[in-house]
Amino acid sequence: MEEKQSIHGAWASRWIFILAATGSAVGLGNIWKFPYITGENGGGAFVLVYLLCILVVGVPIMMAEVLIGRHARKSPINAMHDVAISSGKSGLWSMVGWMGVLAGFFILSFYSVVAGWVLHYIAGMGVGDYAAISSDDAGKAFEGLLSNPQTLLIWHSVFIVMVMLVIAGGVEKGLENAVKFLMPALFVLLLVMLAYASQTSGFHAGWDFLFHFDPSQLSWESILVAMGHAFFTLSLGMGAIMAYGSYMPKKTAIGTAVITIALMDTVVALVAGLVIFPIVFTNGMDPGAGPGLMFVTLPVAFGQMPSGQIFGFVFFLLVGIAAWTSAISLLEPAAAWLVEKFGWHRIPACIVLGLIIWSIGIAALGSFNVIADVKLFGFTVFDFLDFITANIMLPLGGLFIALFTGWMVKRQISEDELAFSANAWYRAWYITIRYITPVAVAIIFVFNLLDTLK
Ligand code: TRP
């Protein structure tokens, strides 16, 4: 078979692909979202379901996304189309790519708001706003931020522009350095925080909260949230990883790359939890505090540490960079499609996309102040965007990708891309993606539905 190339470029090596995909996976999902939804869903049992979902649903689907992307060497919409056609199936499978583009818009618009909070905290730490802050005052500082739409709008806009700049330049350039140096730095700083947290009186309570399995804490809703988060944290179900896979060198083994990425992502989330919950319990705070959890706990810890303001500044800076390297992967599928479809340059493509997302984001940030009373299905706009993407659109996209790769794509294509056909690993993946993954996703969906109808 002749070797296809993507018109958008290619990662220089196997490691760059792994770093880029890790940059996409590790983001606010790990450091902001994982701890707070674990807190809201009762801890250990939720964590266990989440880990199972990473293994049974996340890893096989990530392999599927990468193999489709790499085989087609096009943006997700066109990749789904082309692989369907060359397998003798309907081109309508490109609809999965379309739903992914929409999910990417929705996610990025609230993601950018939260990234804006991070930018605000970088600035605040930089000027020492949170020195020796009490937990009460940390809560008030965060609420003060949420009640101020102008400040939120400025930071949201700054972040969208940052994302547009990278997409305009093409993902190869800036991304490489950001990920090669800054992600390891983030990890080291998390370990410093872990060392601090392990000295606090609440460390055991924090540890127990994360790892003590108490099945009475589980509901179908919390299982759905755990599965949705497995998709969210690994950047699956909307084509981000498919797009990154389309720039992947042909010789790289997909299976080991995917396992490396999933492992790094999981470790970062668990360490973040082990940093935040001890601080929560040491200071008598509420683990179920919601989206503000990281923003009220960490300033308190930094306020008590020697040189805490400097650590705090660097820490929030690195979280901001992690959010940045994730956010660009949310926009890349749509940008690549515009370039393929209309032959546009990347710059107009990212201006159009940036404006769309910026506008939706304004509604999301208004959820905390001016339009706090506007409810969609009982959710604020912000919560609605989060809920329908993570818990519905991504798992649904993932379900279709699993069914597509397991049942529609010619076996020769998946064997060729995964290149371990002679081996038991391929069969294990094949059985998982055909039966286990779709059944698991479907069961969680159906039982939730029955539960809400009750
Ligand atoms: N995985 C990122 C995080 O945990 C967010 C993200 C980036 C994402 N790209 C995605 C989520 C694609 C879903 C789909 O912060």
Could you identify the atom of ligand 1 that is nearest to the CA of residue 322?
Answer: 15
The rounded Å distance from CA 200 to ligand 1 centre is: 31
Could you identify the atom of ligand 1 that is nearest to the CA of residue 231?
Answer: 13
Binned at pLDDT 50, 70 and 90, residue 88 comes out as: very high
Q: Is the pLDDT of residue 421 over 80?
A: no
Task: For each of the domains in the chain, give its residue range(s) and CATH number, in order of start.
Answer: 14-452 (1.10.4160)
Residue 378 forms beta bridges with which residues? none
Residues 285, 116: contact at Cβ < 8 Å?
A: no
Average pLDDT (369-386) is: 96
Q: How much is the pLDDT for 380?
A: 97
Average pLDDT (53-69) is: 98
Give the mean pLDDT of the chain: 94
Average pLDDT (250-256) is: 91
Q: How far apart are CA 187 and CA 336, in angstroms?
A: 30
Ligand 1 binding residues, C-beta < 6 A: 24-25, 27-30, 107, 232-233, 235, 238, 240, 326, 329-330, 394
CA neighbor of 255 nearest in space, from 56, 71, 426, 434: 426
- Under 8 Å CB-to-CB from 178, ≥6 apart: which residues? 23, 321, 324, 325
Q: How far apart are CA 180 and CA 208, in angstroms?
A: 34
pLDDT one-digit tens code per residue, 4-44: 889 988 888 888 899 899 999 999 999 999 999 999 999 99
Percent of the chain past pLDDT 90, that is, above it, reads: 84
Average pLDDT (340-363) is: 96
Q: Give the residue, by CA position, lying nearest to ligand 1 atom 8.
A: 235
Could you identify the atom of ligand 1 that is nearest to the CA of residue 241?
Answer: 12
Q: Is the pLDDT of residue 436 over 70?
A: yes
Mutate to test the pocket of ligand 1, among 106, 229, 330, 385 (most ligand atoms within 8 A of CB): 330
Q: How far apart are CA 48 and CA 51, in angstroms?
A: 5
Q: Is-above-0.85 flag for pTM?
A: yes
Q: Is the pLDDT of residue 175 over 90?
A: no
pLDDT one-digit tens code per residue, 108-143: 999 999 999 999 999 999 999 999 999 999 999 999
Q: Give the residue, by CA position, lying nearest to ligand 1 atom 9.
A: 235
How is 342-387 classified by DSSP, letter by letter?
H---HHHHHHHHHHHHHHHHHHHHHTTTTTTT--BTTB-HHHHHHH
Q: How much is the pLDDT for 2?
A: 56
Give the pair of three-digit tokens for residue 301: 């810890």
Q: Give the residue, by CA position, lying nearest to ligand 1 atom 7.
A: 326
Average pLDDT (86-92) is: 97
Binned at pLDDT 50, 70 and 90, residue 278 comes out as: very high
Q: Is the pLDDT of residue 79 over 90?
A: yes
Q: How far apart are CA 31 and CA 79, in angstroms?
A: 32
H/E run at residue 388: none
pLDDT one-digit tens code per residue, 261-275: 999 999 999 999 999
Percent of the chain past pLDDT 70, that is, above it, reads: 97
Mutate to test the pocket of ligand 1, among 105, 233, 242, 268 (most ligand atoms within 8 A of CB): 233
Q: Is the pLDDT of residue 217 over 70?
A: yes
